[in-house]
Structure 1
Amino acid sequence: MHLIDSYLAAYQFREMHALDVPTDPPSAMAAILAHRPEDVRLFRYAIKLRELPMRLLGQSQSQSHRTGQSASFGLDNFTLLQRNGDAEIAYGLAGKLWKADYGQVFIADAEAFEAFNEPGNVKLAINFTCNSLQPGLTRVTTQTRVQCIDADALRSFTAYWYLIRPVSGLIRRRMLKAIARRCAAGALKSTSGDHTDDLI
């Protein structure tokens, strides 16, 4: 059983993408840990567009104050739920994600994620798994699941999901390609100034 099954077994929405990478699971997991979604140029552009209404309304500062995260959405908005060696890592997120400011609820840890059950909100879990297909070849898979706490959340999130899903899928495929490039190059270093997506 995968970690994501433990943290979000019930869900209404799911998206999954995979890529076979010529490396071993430890190297693939190291690349996953070194990668940040913000490194993908398409992700940065999509987030800028997504946050435009919030910025125009001057809500960035209030979001930062409320969630304790940076104003621009990225990996820091997620809570690390658990890592299973080089096989899988899972992250969680909760809130009213369709709102201009994401309506994010601060989740301190895995226990808080499991316990979260506030009406009108959703819980989102994303994982990365590394499965060895043969020596030197690893299938890297990322899966996203969304659980709507109640009918109100389901109604609100459904329209949002179908609006963002095409771009969301493209972003995830770009992420996997960036991870594969990192593996191929052996460049497992901080991405603070290393925008590998610029070559994609």
Structure 2
Amino acid sequence: MSLLEQFLPNHQFSERHQAIVRCRPGELLDIIQTFQPPRDRTGDVAMFLRQLPAKIMHWTAPSRVPRPAPFTRANFTPLARDGDREMVGGLVGKFWRPDFGLLAVNGPSEFLASNPPKTAKLVIGFRAEPAGERTLLTTETRVYCPDRYSLLMFTPYWLAIRPVSGLLRRRMLNTISKIAEYRDGRPDAVRTT
């Protein structure tokens, strides 16, 4: 059973992207585990626009609305790694809110036990499978909405962010692929889907 299945077997939303990378699976997951995304104008603009409502709310009522914290990879709770095959991280929150409505989750068991009403759960996974001399790297995001309220709130948010999220995910895979192949000393063309 995959880690995605262990941590979020039921879900209403998912998105998957893949890249073929000239790198061994374990090394590729090591790169992802320590990956710090470089500055990316497209990603910066997308995140600025996503956080603009929270910033406007803070500017109009600073005493009532705290300054929004940046959303980064550090917001994800590392959940598990299965050797050289797969790793996953997760979030619990009200992602449709201007501030993301994130709940603190301290580890895998707390993530599994967390199922508050009107709140969604998200898992992002990376799977590395040998493909000849290369590795097929797959990233998949799954979201589970436990009740009607969270489903009604998340659905329009998903429809709005999914195209941009897919673009950013493909760009991230491309960057990870370039880093891996540069370290290996064999830069090749990278194919992502």
Counterpart in the other structure of 2:156: 159
* Contact 2:120–2:145 (CA under 8 A) maintained in structure 1: yes
CA distance in 2 between partners of 1:98 and 1:76 (Å):
19
CA distance in 1 between partners of 2:83 and 2:39 (Å):
24
2:88 corresponds, among 87, 90, 103, to 90
User: Counterpart amino acid of 1:96?
Assistant: K
Shift of 1:28: 1.2
**TM-score between the two structures when normalised by the length of structure 2:** 0.87
Identity of aligned residues (%): 38
**TM-score between the two structures when normalised by the length of structure 1:** 0.84
CA distance in 2 between partners of 1:143 and 1:161 (Å):
15
Counterpart in the other structure of 1:183: 180
Cα deviation 1:123-172 (Å, max 9, x = unaligned) = 000000110011x3000100000000100000000000000000000011
Give secondary structure in 2 for the equivalent of 1:89: strand
Counterpart in the other structure of 1:143: 140
CA distance in 1 between partners of 2:78 and 2:91 (Å):
9
CA distance in 1 between partners of 2:67 and 2:74 (Å):
13
User: RMSD across aligned C-alpha pairs, in angstroms?
Assistant: 1.7
Identify if the C-alpha distance between structure 1 residues 117 and 38 changes in structure 2 by more than 3 Å, giving closer, same or farther.
farther
Give secondary structure in 2 for the equivalent of 1:14: strand
Counterpart in the other structure of 1:62: 66
CA distance in 1 between partners of 2:109 and 2:96 (Å):
24
Cα deviation 1:37-62 (Å, max 9, x = unaligned) = 56544222211111111112227x83
Structure index of larger Rg: 2
Shift of 1:17: 0.4
CA distance in 2 between partners of 1:39 and 1:84 (Å):
29
CA distance in 2 between partners of 1:170 and 1:25 (Å):
23
CA distance in 2 between partners of 1:123 and 1:158 (Å):
13
| Unmatched 5+ stretches in structure 1 | 65-70, 188-200
Counterpart in the other structure of 2:33: 33
Identify if the C-alpha distance between structure 1 residues 6 and 37 changes in structure 2 by more than 3 Å, giving closer, same or farther.
farther
User: Counterpart amino acid of 1:172?
Assistant: R
Identify if the C-alpha distance between structure 1 residues 17 and 164 changes in structure 2 by more than 3 Å, giving closer, same or farther.
same
Counterpart in the other structure of 1:195: none
* Contact 2:19–2:173 (CA under 8 A) maintained in structure 1: yes
User: Counterpart amino acid of 1:171?
Assistant: L
Aligned length: 179
Shift of 1:87: 1.0
Counterpart in the other structure of 1:101: 99
Counterpart in the other structure of 1:123: 121
| Unmatched 5+ stretches in structure 2 | 185-193
Cα deviation 1:63-84 (Å, max 9, x = unaligned) = 77xxxxxx11010111000011
